[in-house]
Amino acid sequence: MGKGRSGYSFPINELPDLTRIALAKGYELPIKWKHAREICNAIMEKGMYLHEAIEYLKDVMEQKNYVPFKRFKGNVAHRKNSYYWKWPAGRYPYKAAKYILSVLENALNNAKDKGLDERRLKILLLAAHKSRILRRRPDRRGPGILRGWKVKRGTNLEVVVMEVPEEIIEEVAPPEEVEEVEEVSEEEAEEEEMEEEIEEGEEAAEEEETEENEEEEENEIEEGEEE
């Protein structure tokens, strides 16, 4: 949905079931395209569901989580707790997150009107494009000194979400219970070893006695047959 192009970048008409699809657009949003691009890339990279993306943008606005800047990373500070994104450079673009959040909430409302389950809505497409030039004026440094042209441009946003069947949703299995291992002191371990040795000795003695008794019985039987 770039300049001079209408519709969606995603081939919606090729999907088998259009009743599970919900759409939303944002035209000429007064936000920086670079910030919007990084937010969309972060959400699509993690493969978030719609409710997860909404919670993530709220955390960005409250500075509980950051947006990783991977393309436009010049002079971008590093953030703590980068193990989630595995990328240290990031920012908290409040204004861009606010407008993108409004578009995602619009998509959520459109899905609810269709009767779709909001917990099973997967984001298929979230893309930001440069809009048309809203304002262009000469940027003068002084009388007769033109530094260039100052251009103000907005951002177009497109969202496509789909209701995923319950079979595809991965259910997180509960963690396995770990058996607690009792700590055994050295003295108790030695006592257990002594008891095991005594039991083994008694078993060996019982086996020898049974073997001797069997031999005696066989000898008596042989003597009786000879007589």
Tens-place pLDDT, residues 84-139: 899 999 999 999 999 999 999 999 999 999 999 999 999 999 999 999 888 888 88
pTM score, two decimals?
0.68
pLDDT at position 210, please?
Answer: 73
pLDDT at position 180, please?
Answer: 46
φ/ψ of 183, rounded to 5, equals -80, 130
Mean pLDDT of the chain: 83
How is residue 133 written in tokens?
């030039």
When mean pLDDT is compared across 82-91, 138-147, 198-207, the lowest value belongs to 198-207
- Given CA atoms 159, 165, 167, 172 in this order, what sign does their dihedral have? positive
Residue 88 to residues 32, 37, 38, 73, 92, Cα–Cα distance (Å): 21, 17, 14, 10, 13
Cβ-count burial 77-91 (b if 16+ within 10 Å, e if not) = eebeeeeebebbbbb
In angstroms, the CA 89 to CA 67 distance is: 8
pLDDT average, residue stretch 183-200: 67
Higher pLDDT, 127 or 141: 127
Examine the pLDDT at 59 and tell me if it is beyond 70.
yes
Examine the pLDDT at 150 and tell me if it is beyond 90.
no
| C-beta of residue 162 within 8 angstroms of C-beta of residue 122 | yes
Comparing C-alpha atoms, which of 57, 33, 32 is closest to residue 43? Answer: 57
Higher pLDDT, 197 or 69: 69
In angstroms, the CA 55 to CA 145 distance is: 48
